[in-house]
Amino acid sequence: TETLAAGRPYNPIKTGEHGFDSGTRPAPGAVSASASRLATASTLSEQNSSAKTGTEAVQGNNATVDTLDRVRVDAAGQVLTTNQGVAIADNQNSLKYGERGPVLLEDFILREKITHFDHERIPERIVHARGSGAHGFFECYEPLTELTRAAPFQEAGKITPVFVRFSTVAGERGSKDTARDVRGFAVKFYTDEGNWDLVGNNMPVFFIQDAMKFPDLVHAVKPEPHHQMPQAASAHDTFWDFVSLMPESTHMLMWLMSDRAIPRSFATMQGFGVHTFRFVNAEGQSVFVKFHWNPKAGTHSLVWDEAVKISGADPDYNRRDLWERIEAGAYPEYELGVQVFTEQEADAFSFDILDATKLIPEELVPVRPIGRMVLNRNPDNFFAETEQVAFCAAHVVPGIDFSNDPLLAGRIHSYVDTQISRLGGPNFHEIPINTPLTQVHNNQRDGMHRQAIHRGKVAYEPNSLGGGCPFQAGAAQGFVSVPARIEARAAQGKVRAKPEKFADHYTQAKLFFNSQSPFEQAHIAAAFRFELSKVTVPAIRERMVSSLRNVSEELANQVAAKLGITEMPEPMPKALTSTPAAEVNMSPSLSLLARPGETGIQGRKVALLVANGVEAESLIKLHSKLFELGAVPRFVAPHIGPLTTSKGAVIDADASLENEPGFLFDALVLPDGERGVRELAKDGHTLEFIKDQYRHCKPIMVMTASTVLMHMAQIPPLLPSGNEDPGIVVGIDDSAIAQFVSAIARHRHPERETDPPAV
């Protein structure tokens, strides 16, 4: 076999047959022998993984990443072949009868190539079509054996590999990242007792209470069927028609109109399991649980004007940010927290825990941190991993179980069903990114694209011919559903109905709105104004305003005024005349400001404007300081390439004012050096750059010679309140740098914001 393998095209799927290692799966955490041969450390994230995380985690990470090695293909040093492994002599010309003659049907090489190409696309996801994935690991803080027997939570320090996919919901696969939309936050845990998918969103509530309404919701928000517009946007008639007729969506609309719907980065948004789930321990005792992902980098969002501009200049804004953070070793990290409560506690709440339009205020049930997730490796191939990954709300492991949330019930059905058409048959669990680390044995057979070669003649159970295998695991090892009591009142029997508490649609919408800071509230009002101003039917706008009156009169008035509604419509009639008193009326943790983050300025992009003739020393000092703190400083100039500074040194510009406009950066530095400043002043892009930074409330550092640029851009020297603007730092000494760094850490300085914008 040695001689056979040597010098032959190496097919990594068939390691066993070619006499390399047997192709068995490595134990979780083990580094497979083939890894060193096949995987060349090609990305920075691979090279960096151990040094940067510095924990056992990298090993855990390798557990999934390693099993994928059996299918990773590296063509280095190999000849080009057909799919049958036949070497191809000429990949330039089709087979013809004479140089100028017709192409021959016989050309199987041409036909194989074109046929495969013709089928390169698969259907996109019906929702969440646009997404970005990453590998990583989950690390458990402490054993949770009292609460759950779920494998990831059994030991302190235990590592479980994960694959995560973030997504927008409404847009098509090639749509922009910065649409106003919910973000998907789907985590596949490759546990050592099978795959568990926590398929969540970046908002803790949902539009509807029952899966029966999901197709209606999606048809309403997707581009309108007659002309297929607008793309990746909810600002159109059908969406607002539907939601204004569905008062249960009001709470979710508050979230969707908030800046949560335009995250600055996937690394700066929360994630939520949304539904109530159950934890089940080894004794079979169960408690209810809600899952929360809290980003270590804090919660930071864009502002609308910025998101709109970014979608033109960089439609891949969030995807690029995720990729670059991982390549740079600034791994996105999230803490997993749980709200745990009993059935008795749940019964006493003023809302129903089976209602996905309600959250449980953290002030009522605190969030207990139980572990952390680090994303430390980019996929090798977008299609094979991010596109083919199949998440499913029904994928749970022993220790996790469902509640009776009727939205969840529909999801338990929908995901497998959708993958069957999207991924072409029932065997998508065999696609490498979807395979569990545990072995799979059952009597399911055949179907499209079957990979496993089942041996023997037994495909049924019970059997004696196969020695009774595979055999039932029994309750100690296998999945056992919680024997939850069914509450249907005897007299009710089978019904199509909802419990009464589901009908309170406004208490939590109010709670959310009242818990926002003034600038967050202003952004919510502006978002309603914008979206509804795109609605062409006045009756829909009015209906929405009538619904908002049940949330906040002030909000309703503000929105109505900007829609030209002079006579306020009556508040929408409520389904319930009296609702149980809410436990909390303010929940500070619902504000984005509640989580500024622990990672300082890491990952923030800072533009240092330069041109021929700028003063270099101060810029270089600042550049290295920012770099040291984990920020991404970039020299931006009228053109890319080398520039000569005031003292004749050379600075290389990374980007131009044209190819990376101001709104792509989190902060701006205006240089010293009069000649350079004069050159910048001649370029209209410079003033737009400054204006956008100011309008989007981002910090600006102004070195003395550049104060003229601030005047030219008509930047007000003081805040509207008359106070100094803490986001504008003049000078370059150490205290100015310190002030600038803390201004960047704060991200935005909304106290300068006016509506409409002054600049």
Q: Is 260 annotated as a binding residue?
A: no
Catalytic (active site) residue 61:
no
- 10 annotated to bind ligand: no
Closest to ligand HDD by CB, 210 vs 751, is 210
- Cα–Cα distance measured from residue 550 to residue 513, given in angstroms and rounded to the nearest whole number: 12
Annotated binding-site residue? 411: yes
What percent of the residues of the chain are helix, what percent strand, and what percent coil, each to the nearest 5? 35, 15, 50
- The smaller minimum CB distance to ligand HDD, of residues 176 and 411, is found at 411
Q: How far apart (Å, rounded) are the C-alpha atoms in residues 50 and 45?
A: 9
> What is the closest distance, in whole angstroms, from the C-beta atom of residue 389 to ligand HDD in the complex?
6
Name residues whose C-beta falls within 8 Å of residue 72's C-beta, 6 or more positions apart in sequence.
12, 38, 39, 380
Task: Tell me, by CB under 6 A, how many residues bind ligand HDD.
Answer: 25
For 669-722, what is the HEC assignment?
Answer: EECCCHHHHHHHHCCHHHHHHHHHHHHCCCCEEECHHHHHHHHHCCCCCECCCC
Q: How far is CA 175 from CA 179, 223, 233, 334, 384, in A?
A: 8, 12, 10, 26, 20
**496: annotated binding-site residue?**
no
Considering only residues 580 through 599, tell me which ones interact with ligand HDD, judged by CB under 6 A. Answer: none
153 scored as a contact of ligand HDD (CB under 6 A): no
Residue with tokens 């190496």: 10
Question: Taking contact as CB under 6 A, which single stretch among the options 195-203, 252-260, 506-514, 584-592 is the one that binds ligand HDD?
Answer: 195-203
AA letter at 24 = T
Q: Does the footprint of ligand HDD cover residue 318 (CB under 6 A)? A: no
Give CA–CA dist 521/525, Å, rounded: 6
Task: Return the residue matching tokens 């496993």.
Answer: 452
Beta carbons of 689 and 657 less than 8 angstroms apart: yes
Q: Smallest distance, Å, CB 299 to ligand HDD?
A: 18
Residue 131 as a binder of ligand HDD (CB under 6 A): the answer is yes
Shortest Cβ 316–ligand HDD spacing (Å): 17
CA distance 234 to 240: 8
CB of 190 to ligand HDD, least distance (A): 16
Place of tokens 């089928």: 119
Backbone angles phi, psi at 384, to 5 degrees: -60, -35
What is the bridge-based pairing of β-strands 605-609 and 400-402?
Answer: unpaired
Using CB under 6 A, which of 356, 540, 563, 745 touches ligand HDD?
356
**Residue 150 vs 164, nearer CB to ligand HDD:** 164
Which C-beta is closer to ligand HDD: that of 72 or that of 128?
128
Q: How many CA atoms lie within 13 A of 439 on its CB side?
A: 7
Question: What's the CA gap between 387 and 129, in Å, rounded?
Answer: 9
Q: Cβ closer to ligand HDD: 211 or 737?
A: 211
Which is catalytic among the residues 61, 62, 195, 201? 201
| Binders in 278-317 for ligand HDD, by CB under 6 A | none
Considering the complex, what minimum distance in angstroms separates the CB of residue 202 from ligand HDD?
9
Q: Are 272 and 290 in contact (CB under 8 A)?
A: yes
* 415 contacts ligand HDD (rule: CB under 6 A): yes
Pairing of strands 605-609, 632-637: parallel
Is there binding between residue 130 and ligand HDD (CB under 6 A)? no
Decide: is 414 part of the binding site for ligand HDD (CB under 6 A). Answer: yes
Can you tell me which of 135, 411, 501, 523 binds ligand HDD, judged by CB under 6 A?
Answer: 411
Q: Does 125 bind ligand HDD (CB under 6 A)?
A: yes
Nearest to 28 by CA among 194, 149, 187, 188: 194
- Pick from 144, 211, 310, 346: which binds ligand HDD (CB under 6 A)? 211
CA distance 314 to 375: 23
Measured from the CB atom, the residue of 134 and 140 that comes closer to ligand HDD is 134
Among 159, 186, 540, 609, binds ligand HDD (CB under 6 A): 186
By C-beta, is 48 or 167 nearer to ligand HDD?
A: 167
Angle between helices 538-548 and 553-562 (to 10 degrees): 160
For residue 165, say whether it is annotated as part of any ligand binding site.
yes
**Contact predicate 278/393, CB 8 Å:** no
Site string for ligand HDD, 369-408 (x = CB under 6 A): ----------------------x---------------x-
Report the residue from 199, 243, 307, 346 that binds ligand HDD according to the rule CB under 6 A. Answer: 199
The CA distances from residue 129 to 184, 232, 388, 643, 647, in Å, are 10, 10, 11, 43, 52
Q: Which residue is nearest to ligand HDD (CB)?
A: 184
- From candidates 200, 597, 638, 699, binder to ligand HDD by CB under 6 A: 200
Give Cβ neighbours of residue 461 (< 8 Å, ≥ 6 apart): 443, 468, 470, 471
Mapped onto helix, strand or coil, the DSSP state of residue 62 is: helix
- Which one among 238, 350, 418, 742 touches ligand HDD, defined by CB under 6 A? 418
Q: Going by DSSP bridges, is the β-strand pair 286-295/271-272 parallel, antiparallel, or unpaired?
A: antiparallel
Binding mask 66-105 for ligand HDD (x = CB under 6 A): ----------------------------------------
Q: Which stretch binds ligand HDD (CB under 6 A): 51-59, 316-324, 409-417, 569-577?
A: 409-417
**Min. distance of Cβ 199 from ligand HDD in angstroms?**
5
Considering only the stretches 10-18, 198-206, 585-593, 595-603, report the one whose residues sit in contact with ligand HDD under the rule CB under 6 A.
198-206
Q: Exactly one of 62, 128, 202, 434 is catalytic; name it.
A: 128
According to the annotation, is 415 in a ligand binding site? yes
Helix axes 237-244, 538-548, angle to 10 degrees: 40
The least distance separating ligand HDD from the CB of residue 416, rounded to whole angstroms, comes to: 8
Q: What is the DSSP letter of 382?
A: I
Dist CA 129 CA 166 (whole Å): 10
Using rule CB under 6 A, residue 128 touches ligand HDD: yes
* Residues between 252 and 281 that touch ligand HDD (CB under 6 A): 274
The yes or no reply on residue 475 touching ligand HDD (CB under 6 A) is no
Cβ neighbours for 417, distance < 8 A, ≥ 6 positions apart: none
Structure-token pair, residue 200: 């969540």
505 is catalytic: no
C-beta contacts of 520-523 below 8 A and 24+ residues apart: 520/258, 520/259, 520/591, 520/592, 520/593, 521/555, 522/753, 522/755, 523/257, 523/258, 523/259, 523/303, 523/304
Least separation in angstroms between residue 388's CB and ligand HDD is 10
Q: Which residue, 125 or 549, has its beta carbon nearer to ligand HDD?
A: 125
Between 128 and 377, name the residue whose CB sits nearer to ligand HDD: 128
Residues at the annotated binding site for heme? 125, 165, 214, 411, 415, 422
User: Contact positions toward ligand HDD, by CB under 6 A?
Assistant: 125-128, 131, 165, 167, 184, 186, 199-201, 206, 211, 214, 274, 356, 391, 407, 410-411, 414-415, 418-419
Residues with a known catalytic role: 128, 201
